[in-house]
Amino acid sequence: MAQKTMIQAITDAMYHELKNDENVLVFGEDVGQNGGVFRATEGLQDEFGEDRVFDTPLAESGIGGLSLGLALQGFRPVPEIQFIGFTYEAMDAINGQIARMRYRSGDSKSAPITIRTPFGGGVHTPELHADSLEGLIAQQPGIRVVVPSTPYDAKGLLISSIRNNDPVFFMEHMKLYRSFRAEVPDEDYTVDLDKADIKQEGKDVTLIAYGAMVHTALKAAEELEKDNIEAEVIDLRTISPVDMETIVESVKKTNRVVMIQEAQRQAGVAAHVISEIQERAILHLEAPVLRVTAPDTVYPFSQAEEVWLPTHKDVIDRVNEVINF
């Protein structure tokens, strides 16, 4: 066991999978000798060679097509999109092609591709680096969307994603890359896809979050404890599909829910989660399910991130509303 940052845990996961399976290929813009713009692939080319870990021309759609073509030759591609905002360039490759491969071939071909991409606010990036675009991919059948919030989950979920025989859009929050260290086993291990995780148990209100908002929710929960409100914090981890079983179990216990996302109110997956809750557990609800989200504007100019991004205070306000409903 070692104390690792999330970015180290991610590198670790790719290291194990490159070692375990010769079909695994890691590629993207500057992921080779440079080791990635965030050092996520540092040392991997030296260890495994340019045949396994390589740079690409600067073209996201090309990277998407390349991934699918390599998958059709039996490889297990782990491409990187340098920043999530550039996903638009690859939307056809991801949603129009990769996600549909198994279905359109009548299950005769598959696309075991894990697309890694950094996203998320709070680190003053330039335009179109930090946007939360998970909602766009989550609406596409055929591809899973995974968002880890801790180093342990990041490693286990990334290994599971790479081993999965269908595509995964793996989103890495930039603010979480190096903000804290945690225990991460040295060996390879998996964390189940499609399963949420209760990060903190509580009986008074359920806070559902993913990505950096898990930590925002945990911080809010800590404050709420001072007022004798015990919040249960669920980290979705996989946001498409959503683990409704874990959520409904929690709702039955707490009867109150606040759904938290960093994405704008009209984006993300909060609306979907709330619809599912009202269909499955309305009789267990003592109050409407409320949302904490960003406002419906374009992602803020970097100096405005502090006033724009949702905070633990926003969460506490919403919790008080559902408690006092």
Partner 1 sequence: MKDVLESIESQFEMFQVLDENGEVVNKDWMPDLSDDDLKELMRRMVYTRVLDQRSIALNRQGRLGFYAPTAGQEASQLGSHYALEEDDFILPAYRDVPQLIWHGLPLYQAFLFSRGHFHGNQFPEGVNGLSPQIIIGAQITQAAGVGLGLKKRGNKAVAVTYTGDGGTSQGDFYEGVNFAGAYGAQTIFFVQNNQFAISVPVEKQTNAKTLAQKGVAAGVESYLVDGMDVFAVYAATKKARERALNGEGPSLIETMTYRYGPHTMAGDDPTRYRTEDMTNEWEKRDPIVRLRKFLEGKDLWSEDEENKVIEDAKEDIKKAIKEADDYPKQKVTDLIDIMHDELPNNLQEQMEEYKEKESK
Residues that bind partner 1 (CB under 8 A): 51, 56-57, 59, 61-62, 64-75, 92-93, 96-97, 102-110, 141-142, 144, 164-166, 194, 240-245
- What letter represents residue 178's amino acid? R
Q: Which residue, 123 or 244, has its beta carbon nearer to partner 1?
A: 244
Tell me the closest approach of the beta carbon of residue 69 to partner 1, in angstroms.
Answer: 2
**Which CB atom, from 128 or from 323, has the smaller least distance to partner 1?**
128
Question: Could you tell me if 28 and 89 are in contact, meaning their C-beta atoms sit under 8 angstroms apart?
Answer: no
8 Å CB contact between 156 and 124: no
Give the integer Cα–Cα distance in Å for 267 and 120.
14
Query: Is 129 tagged catalytic?
Result: yes
Q: Which residue, 242 or 289, has its beta carbon nearer to partner 1?
A: 242
Annotated catalytic residue: which of 16, 129, 173, 312? 129
**What is the chain's length?**
325
Q: Which residues of 256-291 are buried (b: 16+ CB within 10 A; e: fewer)?
A: bbbbbbbbbeebbbbbbbbeebeeebeebbeeebbb
Q: Min. distance of Cβ 222 from partner 1 in angstroms?
A: 31
**Nearest distance from residue 138's CB to partner 1, in Å?**
11
Smallest separation, CB 74 to partner 1 (Å): 7
Catalytic annotation, residues? 129
